Amino acid sequence: MIYADNAATTQMSGAAINAMTACMRDTWGNPSSLYGLGQRAREALEDARERIAACIGASSKEITFTSGGSEADNQAIRSAALLGSRKGKRHIISTAFEHHAVLHTLKKLEGEGFEVELLPVGELGTVTADQVAEAIREDTALVTIMYANNEIGSVLPVPEIGAVCRERRVIFHTDAVQAAGHLPIDVKVQNIDLLSLSAHKFHGPKGIGVLYARQGIPLSNLIEGGAQERGKRAGTENVPAIVGMAAALEESCGHLEENAIRVSALRDLLIGGLSQIPHSALNGDPVNRLPGNVNFCFEGIEGESLLLLLDDRGICASSGSACTSGSLDPSHVLLAIGRPHEVAHGSLRLSLCEQNTEADVDAILKAVPEIVGYLRNMSPLWKDKAGRKKKFVL
Amino acid sequence: MALYSEKVMDHFRNPRNVGVIEDADGVGEVGNAVCGDIMKIYLKIEDGTVSDVKFETFGCGSAIASSSMATELIKGKPLSDALKLTNQAVTEALDGLPAHKLHCSVLAEEAIRAAVKDYYDRQGIAYDPKDFPDCGSCEGCHR
């Protein structure tokens, strides 16, 4: 099997599995309990918190454990919105291609009287700090802009956006779910006030994530109950998952540069090879790009068919077609960068990690052109374009 | 459970009757690129019978499988039977489709109807237009 869907989830690392199993076996107490077993769990929890904080340049008091990236996004945005509204600020700036955890939360806030401004992301799929600076108003409560896009891999100028927000004294949240463990993050240097990350995107376990909130930014609860996480997130801590996340993040951050060099070399081989397919186009920023992300549109075919046939050859990938999104519309990200519906239906995302090899790339570069050719050969849309009855878009 | 039945996957992986009939007696095309699926059916009619049928499809796995199954269900059958083919019959023959994929079987039914209508038009055979609604009723065509 060739696993090329690391943006969806990653295989857990040995270090993470070992840390978790040891924790489940030996340190299974409740961190809130007074006796030794509980206190050892508390120590494991706080040790993980410190190590995770160190990976992103934060202090451990600024780390809140959540059930994952979506919860962290929800809580970050809701907290900032509440802080803003107390001062009469109800304007929120974001982008058109955020993750649904952000967009759907913003949609709800719109219904609650907030004004949400989604910045256009252009053909490359990015925004500039200038765009953000121009959009900020006196009543702006929050800027929430992702660190890197999960579908098309664009890496956004987060440090520059952070600097603008700090200067204008607006809270800045970044959804760093695709960036953590893959790109250098330093919340202090990069002027990030709130940041979300998710363990299973960097070889950690599923169902666990982090909300970093700069000291001085009070969080409001999504989940009420006990006093865990300084009272900001109730529920007995998932200590094994937290310990596994710490192990995975440390490992990823410890090899960040070498992994990025290795993976981006594979990525560029894939991009070069797939670019040879006629009437195809790379999606996302070709330069400022996640090391592992490859995203193409192939004209005249539909993405789900491509995925199923790749699966038959043991290749795991994903697509932004409507049929894979479960709705009538293809990916909002591809539409946001201006791809027309018919082209967006024919998208393919391959997301690599450091475990992928050149042999994987070779196999993908053999399979994709063959399958695209096969599907085009039975596509009346492709035939109409090839026969010049319809115009090519790409 | 897998997304698709084994039948669907079989007809997707090994689609029957893919291709073009150059001297077709009736051709029908439904769907549109915006929605992400287009089906085109070619019919050869001899003595009131579907003597040959081919399809071309732009679409997802269930669209290709539905086209394949629909062509199998009408091949060699009287034209009157082809007209009676329903999307339910296509779906049942495929051992079911996920709810959000049922429109693929509707598309197959409509593509066959469109091809029969084209045949009637070419032959000057009278028919009731109400028997041939088009797929333009869904919101996809109005964007």
Using CA atoms, how far apart are residues A322 and B103, in angstroms rounded to an integer? 13
Please check whether residue A255 touches B, CB under 8 A.
no
Q: What is the CA radius of gyration of chain B?
A: 14
Q: Is residue A170 part of a domain?
A: yes
The CATH code of the domain that includes A302 is 3.90.1150.10
Tally Cβ neighbours within 10 Å of residue A13.
18
CA distance A147 to A227: 31
Q: Write down the catalytic residue from B60, B104, B135, B138.
A: B104
Q: What are phi and psi of A24, to 5 degrees?
A: -65, -35
What whole-number percentage of chain A has pLDDT above 70?
Answer: 99
The secondary structure element, H or E, covering residue A222 is none
Catalytic site residue A297?
A: no
The mean per-residue pLDDT over the stretch B19-43 comes to 96
CA distance A320 to A326: 10
| Sequence letter at residue B129 | P
Pairing of strands A280-282, A293-298: antiparallel
Number of domains chain B is built from: 1
Contact check, Cβ <8 Å, A328/B140? yes
Among A156, A198, A172, A159, smallest CA distance to A52 is for A198
Helices marked H in A149-298: 158-167, 239-254, 256-274
Q: What gap in Å lies between CA A248 and CA A238, rounded to an integer?
A: 15
Which of A322, A326, A380 minimises the CB distance to B56?
A: A380
pLDDT of B136: 56
Whether residue A319 is found in the same domain as residue A273: yes
Q: What range defines the domain where residue A265 resides? A: 256-386
Q: Is residue B1 part of a domain?
A: no
CB of A231 closer than 8 Å to CB of A222: no
Residue whose token pair is 């077993």: A37
Q: What is the tens place of the pLDDT at every residue in B111-127?
A: 999 999 999 999 999 99
The 3-class SS string of chain B reads CCCCCHHHHHHHHCCCCECCCCCCCEEEEEEECCCCEEEEEEEEEECCEEEEEEEEEECCHHHHHHHHHHHHHHCCCEHHHHHHCCHHHHHHHCCCCCHHHHHHHHHHHHHHHHHHHHHHHHHCCCCCHHHCCCHHHCHHHHC
Q: Is residue B134 part of a domain?
A: no
Of A323, A342, A378, Cβ closest to residue B34: A342
The β-bridge partners of A257 are: none
| C-alpha dist (Å) from residue B63 to A223, B31, B73, B100 | 43, 11, 15, 12
Overall number of domains in chain A: 2
* Lowest mean pLDDT segment, chosen from A76-85, A326-335, B100-109: A326-335
Q: Are A56 and A195 in contact (CB under 8 A)?
A: yes
Query: How far B75 CA sits from the closest chain A CA (Å)?
Result: 19
Q: Which of A155, A174, A153 is nearest to A165 (CA)?
A: A174
Residues A227 and A190 in one domain: yes
Mean of the per-residue pLDDT values of chain B: 92
Q: Is residue A83, in this structure, part of any structural domain at all?
A: yes
- Kindly state whether residue A394 falls inside one of the protein's structural domains: no
CATH number at residue B112: 3.90.1010.10
pLDDT in tens, B75-112: 999 999 999 999 999 999 999 999 989 989 999 999 99
* E strand or H helix at A108: helix A100-111
Q: Is residue B130 part of a domain?
A: no
Q: What is the pLDDT, as a whole number, of residue B143?
A: 44
Residue A322: the pLDDT is: 77
Question: Has the ipTM of the complex gone over 0.90?
Answer: yes
- CA separation for the pair B128, B132 (Å, rounded): 8
Contact A203, A16 (CB under 8 A): yes
Q: Which of A193, A220, A254 corresponds to the end of one domain?
A: A254
- The pTM of the full predicted model, rounded to 2 decimals, is 0.95
When scoring A323, A376, A385 by the number of chain B Cβ atoms within 10 A, the one with the most, hence best to mutate, is A323
* Structural domain boundaries enclosing B78: 6-120
What is the rounded average pLDDT for all residues in chain A? 97
